[in-house]
Amino acid sequence: MSPSTSPSSPWHMAQRAARLNPSVIREILKLTELPGVLSLAGGLPAASTFPVEAMREATTRVLAEQPQAALQYAASEGYGPLREWVAERLSAQGMTHVKAEQVLMTTGSQQGLDLIAKVMVDAGAPVAVETPTYLGALQAFTPFEPIFAGVASDGQGALPEAIARLPHDAPGTRFMYVLPNFQNPTGRVMPEARRQAVVKAAQTAGIPLVEDNPYGDLWFDEAPPAPLASRWAEGVAYLGSFSKVLAPGLRLGYVVAPPALAPKLLQAKQAADLHTPGFNQRVVYEVVKDGFLERHIPTIRAQYKAQRDVMAEALRETMPAGTEWTQPEGGMFFWLRLPAGCRAMDLLPKAVAAGVAFVPGEPFYAHQPDARTLRLSFVTLSPDEIRQAVAALGRVVHQALEE
């Protein structure tokens, strides 16, 4: 596989450039931007939840009180008070071992995925992922040329017995990437007993875990169980993000790295972009330092839960028998499995023609995609639009079954 460079071009690209492919989702999003298309495809948080006023006040305060420090180069680790704040918040959520010194601020948690892969993955080394998993993680890991080991998963997440088989099936697995809370794309949450079993299986197999938790705060009725990182401090690298609780445009996330990994991650971070914008970090610290999230997050939960309920009802009313889904208890996504004979990828152009877009499930699988699956976001459209969009989708699936 060699990157396509025209013979007359002086730019001779690296092999890895051939692995950088356009995101299927981004290509689909282009389609969905056509006028008249109601998109259930995006992974975007609802813009109405962005705390514009709090950001405006905090920005003004930072520029008035600490303009020079905020606009200067800063430490690669991140802004000290924000790292302290993150450590305290995670402690309150069960990760009592976390010290501020372990918190590395990153330019979105997406950068955390890139840095971890850079430090951990050699060409040909196995990396284990859930089935399905976050497409953006597959994209972040792929340039480092891992061999993906898909870990069989059910409605509760990865199967412990499949993790136990990794030393045999994929010897030398560098880490397993896990999303225990309201997974992207399936919306599933890993219950307490499964968390215990997953951590035990990983410990026994000697495989560290990379736990990604951008959606954990977005629960509707009940907080999810404590993170995997609270159960195995040395064996879990934990990624968090401000994207879904404040705003993704800030590009602010963090990695809590065990001591064995932290120094190399920091060096990789330094080499990548010196540091995450100090201005953004200081503004966000000003926003969150006095308990703002404790007031703000419940408003996001209430809004998303109401939208989830509307979509659940619309799906029950319109989808043909044989369509499967479970109701997400948090996060942003429904995951559907269409009746036998339907391929989500083939339905997409018909759906777009009928005025609705979704993301086919296939790109979320490292191997053996389930072509009947698709992902619907319930947070970007209004209740009326959700009803309209799901009704249109229902009609398209009914038609496909009749053909």
Residue of 136, 143, 361, 394 that binds ligand PMP (CB under 6 A): 136
- Cβ-defined contacts of 298-302 (< 8 Å, 24+): 299/49, 300/45, 300/46, 300/49, 300/218, 300/244, 300/245, 301/218, 301/219, 301/220, 301/330
Residue 103 phi, psi (nearest 5):
-90, 120
Give the one residue of 42, 43, 132, 146 binding ligand PMP; rule: CB under 6 A: 43
Nearest approach in angstroms of CB 250 to ligand PMP is 9
Does 134 engage in binding with ligand PMP (CB under 6 A)? yes
Q: Does 288 bind ligand PMP (CB under 6 A)?
A: no
Q: Position 367: which residue type?
A: H
- Is residue 364 part of the contact set for ligand PMP (CB under 6 A)? no
Q: Is 248 in the site for ligand PMP (CB under 6 A)?
A: yes
Q: Using CB under 6 A, which of 76, 184, 280, 373 touches ligand PMP?
A: 184
**Judged by CB under 6 A, does residue 109 bind ligand PMP?**
yes
Distance between CA 308 and CA 326 in Å, rounded? 11
Q: How many residues in the shown chain lie near ligand PMP by CB under 6 A?
A: 14
Least distance between ligand PMP and beta carbon 353 (Å): 27
Is the CB of 102 or the CB of 276 nearer to ligand PMP?
276
Name the residue nearer to ligand PMP (CB basis): 134 or 219: 134
Burial 34-69, CB ≥16 within 10 A → b, else e: eeebbbbbbbebbeebbbeebbeebbeebeeeeeee
Whichever of 43 and 208 has its CB closer to ligand PMP, that residue is 43
Query: Which is closer to ligand PMP, CB of 89 or CB of 200?
Result: 89
Instruction: Among 78, 214, 225, 258, indicate the residue that binds ligand PMP (CB under 6 A).
Output: 214
- Residue 271 CB burial class (10 angstroms; 0-12, 13-18, ≥19): exposed
Q: Residue 108, interface with ligand PMP (CB under 6 A)?
A: yes
Handedness of CA 247, 351, 375, 330 (dihedral sign): positive
Candidate segments 105-113, 148-156, 300-308, 384-392, binder of ligand PMP by CB under 6 A = 105-113
Residue 238's alpha-carbon distances to 43, 90, 228, in angstroms, are 21, 10, 9
Query: How many other C-beta atoms are found inside a 10 Å radius of the C-beta of residue 26?
Result: 8
Query: The tokens of 207 are what?
Result: 């495989």
Phi, psi for 374 (deg, rounded to 5): -155, 160
CB of 212 to ligand PMP, least distance (A): 5
- Cβ 133 to ligand PMP shortest distance, Å: 8
DSSP 3-state of 55: helix
Tokens of residue 16, six digits: 């890895």
Single out the residue of 141, 140, 138, 164 nearest to residue 151, CA to CA. 164
φ/ψ of 72, rounded to 5, equals -90, 160
Could you say whether residue 179 binds ligand PMP (CB under 6 A)?
A: yes
One of 93, 243, 281, 373 touching ligand PMP (CB under 6 A) = 243
Give the binding range for ligand PMP (CB under 6 A) out of 88-96, 103-111, 298-306, 334-342.
103-111
The residues binding ligand PMP (CB under 6 A) are: 43, 108-110, 134, 136, 179, 184, 212, 214, 241, 243, 248, 253
